[in-house]
Structure 1
Amino acid sequence: MTYYGKCIAAVIEQLDKFDPEKDSPEQFLAAAPTALQDLSAQKRSFILEVLSGCLEYRKLLTVVVDAFYVRDGRFYLWADYNLFQVICYLATFQLEELGFQLFCNIIKSQPVSKMCKFLRFFFNPLNLCSWIKDEWSLVYETAHVKENWIDPLMRWQPEVQELVNQLEGESATTLPPSKTKIKVTIPKEFNLTVPKPRAIPMPELIPAMAKTNQVPQSTYQEPKERQLLQMVKRYNRRKAEERLLRANMKELRCAMPRPLKELPAQVRPRFQDPETQPRFPSAPRIRRTPQLTLYRPENTPVKLNTATILREGALYQRRVEQELQRIDKLIDGCGDFSEFLKWQKKMQAKDQEEQRAAGECRRLQGKLSHEEAILARQNLIQENKQKASQKKEEMAELMLQCARRRLQEDRSMKELVEQVIEAQKNVRVAQMKLLKSRRQIVQEVIEESRELLQRTAEEAREEQRQRCELIYQLRALETQPVRKGKLVDLTQIPGYGLEGEMSVVELRERLALLKDTQRRQEEEKRDQIIESKRAKSQELQNTVEQISLCRAAMGRTAALRWEERKAQASAAGPPRQDERVLELQRRVEERAAERRRLTAQPPGSAPRAARPHPRAQREAKHWDEELRSREHRLRARLQSAALPAARGLGAA
């Protein structure tokens, strides 16, 4: 017993040292024989064989042992985890080779209560044929699991059950060991030395704080740049308000024949009274003075970036080139485009008038379609009433057909129930025949499984023998000496036959020369960049001067164009109306009159089907008001467009 107990303890000790996250199974098995040199050759071979099997089938063993700890082994220590793995491996893979008697000796060498609990759990037929088989099938093929592992365990299950019952009976008959009286420990006081009284420490000096500087007065004051910006902002605001006041006074001069001072006190506005004048703390007060002194701020230059300067310079350069080309063409004898431009402006004005007329036509067409839609809605209401009466008659006929169909379905359901009752009487006879056929199939399957188990056992033995031979060959190869390390000469050429092959020392020298050449090239390139920057800055300065000259010229030409446009606008006459617009207005008025006539008829004069719905009347009234408001807005817009032309004629 002690012989097998020592072997199993050695296997458990090696498994405790194995860490699956850090160690690989091959390296661990290669290092294991060094720790087992003190044992005999027979013990060492048995331990290594069991250890390699536990590492190889670790996933299968982990499934069984984890489930055992969850269900039946909740009160066992986790230190016995590897013990249960070894017993599970021996029972699954080595029970045929060891023999049942040797397996019994190994089981008896371990704690009886633990072995009985684990074997009863592992050899339970319900566990083997259900979840253990399913979990192992996830790792290996189902047919291989059933033939090689599950079926042999089921064959050994009765004998293992007898062994468990025998061990439980022996443990029950053995008497518990006699309890000896334990001596009570008598406590003894410690012989400790009395500590000396602590001396009073010297007080620490309080460090003097450094004197802080006062906060500068500039912290509470705004910077000068912001004050200047605020002054410029206030000046610009005051200047804009004065300009607006002047423009309003010029426009309202025709409506004010005499100044406000000459009006009586009852007619003056309330805000002209100094006592009732509103006062705003933030808004500046506007005073009337005979002459206003204006202070213009200094023209601060605007800083432009390089892209803006180049873009604007290229634009002005293109314009100058175009103007020079135009002058060259005029010198060569080409005509002026002034007449063409006049004709073009005339045609553009004509196109704008046509677009306005087309817009008015579209609006009137929408209004006309709305009127026609209201008339069509009134006719549709009458048609819907007739259709509703027809639908009611059709629904009544459908209800009669549904009632007849329900009676037929009830009759068919009764017949179906009678047929089902007759079919249930013949079910028992069919069940007896099915049971007989299943029993025959089970007997045939049992005979076939026995033959397959014998074949798989022979194949497993042959596979185990080949595996042992392969392990012996690998170990013999690993024991051969290997030379480590190599001498390196940096001045020697490798001699691989490549083009431009050189030694490490020569390569370092060439790299140093290459770095020097690169440094010289960088310095030359840096000098070139500095020269190009200087030339570019000079070019930008010339471009800025040219842009300032071009801006002044463009400003003068824009002022002249504005004066010409103003003169042309004053000479333009009032717009004329199109014939299509007049025709559409006439048709809209006719449709509106017809709709009003229909809505104004008394209830008795028209038939009941043609009477409009109150909701339709409300919608028609709403759209009528909407159209009227649109007409008023259009007229006001036309008057406002014609007002500047009339003012220009009056001024002329």
Structure 2
Amino acid sequence: MNYKDLINEVTRLLDEFQEDKQCIDNFTQDAAKDLKNFSSADQKFIIDTLYGCITRKKLLDVVVNIFYIHHEKYLFRVDRNLFIVVCYLAMFHLDVLGLEHFSRIIKSLDISKMHKFLSFFFNVSNLTTHIQREWSHIYDAAVVDNNWITPLLRWCSEIEALLDQLAKKMGRGCLPKKSPRKNTEPREFDLTQPKARPLPAPEVIPQQESQVKFKQASIKINTCNNGVPVTTHRSPKESEILDEMRLRNRQEALKVLNEANSQQFRCANPQKSEKTQNVISQILQSRDAELKFDQLYTSGSPASQKTNSLPVRLNTTAILREGALYNRQLEEALQRFERLSQGASEPSAFLQWQKEMKEKDLQEELAELERRRLEGRISHEEAVLARERVLERNHHKAQQTKEETAQLMRKYAEKRMKEEKEMRELVQQVADGHKNSKAAKDKLQEIKQRIVKEVSEQSRELLSQALEEAQAELSRKMELIRQIRAFESVSLIRQNFVDDTETAGHDLLCEMSVAELRERLALLRETEQCELEDRRQHIFQEKQLKEQLLLEQLDNIALRRSLAEHAASRSQEEKRMRGELREAVRRDERVLALQKTLEQKQQERQKKKTEKNSMKKNEQVLPLTVKTSLNKKVRRD
């Protein structure tokens, strides 16, 4: 027989076997009776393979479950027993069958499925990780390694040749092996030294008018006088004047150059007008006046106390937290001074340049944001205009539909009038036919009354029976209460002769008399009192130390806050400079142009709105006339 038929027969028998209902031996005997069409060798192969797959089911299920997890998208549950049979043959019969017969069995089955399963099962990484770990949970690790993992690893090289043959049959050629992943090697970050900013070239010094006049005068004297000029025997004063002017101009140019280097981007921060400055000063004065609301009612405090006092009352946690922060800042400043004393460089020049570059970037960013905002508003206005145009078209269509519906309503009113006339005639006919139904109603009323009487009699009997049962239960309870009260009324003779020094006599190890218990409780109270006094003393000492620490921290906080106020004033000045930057951005030409276009779009939209309102007023008059005409026609009909 063909190998494919044998494997299909084994998988069919595995599908029929039910582990919880059938015995393996009985099932194999019944299966052998049905295999009369096969030869004895084929029958032996089928029975042995079936018996092995059932007995080794745990090991085989581990492999097939992991295989389905990895290839769940491309597999069906129907082929599960097929993979179990192939796995059993590869694990327990590969040495007996040999590679030649095993390859024939594999080639007789579906090539793509067998290629996927064998490439997964004979992969070294899968065998030594997932499969070996799961098998070690069932059997001992040494048994798994010696009996199954090592033999399968020996066959991996020969199975690869079989996989190449299967790949060629599928028309894909040999599958490329996965190259190992290359880990990225980190490189050090190289910081290049920033180039120094070149100094701007000074402006060209214009030629002075006195020098030109002197040249013209000398030419006139030489041309007019035929003899020797007077200036030949004495040095001219103009050269000295020119030297002084050159020196003065040179000094002014250097001064301007130094100011340009020290105060860059000054052109982007124009000074505010006098009106703006007056408004700002008025706002600041009003705020100061609001803050000085209780100045009339306070006599003031000495200067020494004001420096050490805090403006806000802090709790203990806030004082300790702020003190720790200032101590950490002080340590960082001391470390910085130590680094500077050891020769480290101060990055103040670079920070100044960085600050200037940030201001420049901020100015550009603000201008870009303003432009985007205006462009967005322009697009919004355009969208509103387009929407209004669409609404006008829809309104025109709605007017047409209203006219059509008005005509349909007229027709519908006429139709309804005809139907109402027909209905009146039908109602009149039905009323004439129902005059003889009064006798039937009387009979029905009599039947209903008889049924009600029967139901009331039955309910009366049930109620009387329930009342008798309730009375019997109540009498039984009253009898029980009477007996209990009789037992309680009997007096008991009680004699109490108690000795405090004697024990109760229960023969317990921890048993003690009342007197001993009282003495022990008194000693326990004394010890608790001593412990309480010690604890109070310890708490008082800790409280004193804590108060001293808080006072020191408050002095430190007051000092630091005075320094922080100076820093805040400097930051306020920087904010003022940024405000001037924003004013410069608002005066940008592109921003002004976008502002103009936005105003034009808004005016256009306002004009459309006014036209639309006028059209609505005209439209409100027309429906009233149409309704009145319709009502008149209906009344006439």
With the length of structure 2 as denominator, give the TM-score of the two structures.
Answer: 0.37
Higher relative helix content:
2
